[in-house]
Amino acid sequence: MNKPCAEMVKDLSIRAISEVTKILAVSKGQCPNGEYETLTRAVANVIGFIEGDILTEIYAQYPDLDDLK
């Protein structure tokens, strides 16, 4: 992936994480405890895939795009 594409994918990935996290804010206190725990696990899995499968690859190729380092 070229750098401009990597930057775009990174930005979209970060936004996706932000959006999917909103599921927890919206549903907290609105569903039974077991259902909320299921949502929490699902959100964590999605974030894990984005970070592990997308962002890790981008940061390995373009370390300067990693804002946390």
Q: Does position 69 have pLDDT exceeding 80, yes or no? A: no
Answer yes or no: pTM beyond 0.75: yes
For the chain, the domains span 3-62
Would you state the pLDDT for residue 4? Answer: 98
What is the chain's Cα-based Rg? 15
Q: What is the DSSP string of 28-67?
A: TTTS-HHHHHHHHHHHHHHHHHIIIIIIHHHHHH-GGG-T
For the stretch 44-66, pLDDT in tens is 999 999 999 999 999 999 999 99
For the stretch 2-14, pLDDT in tens is 999 999 999 999 9
CA distance from start to end of the chain: 21
In the chain, the largest separation of any two C-alpha atoms, in whole Å, equals 45
Would you state the pLDDT for residue 33? Answer: 80
Give the residue among 58, 36, 12 at the shortest CA–CA distance from 44: 36
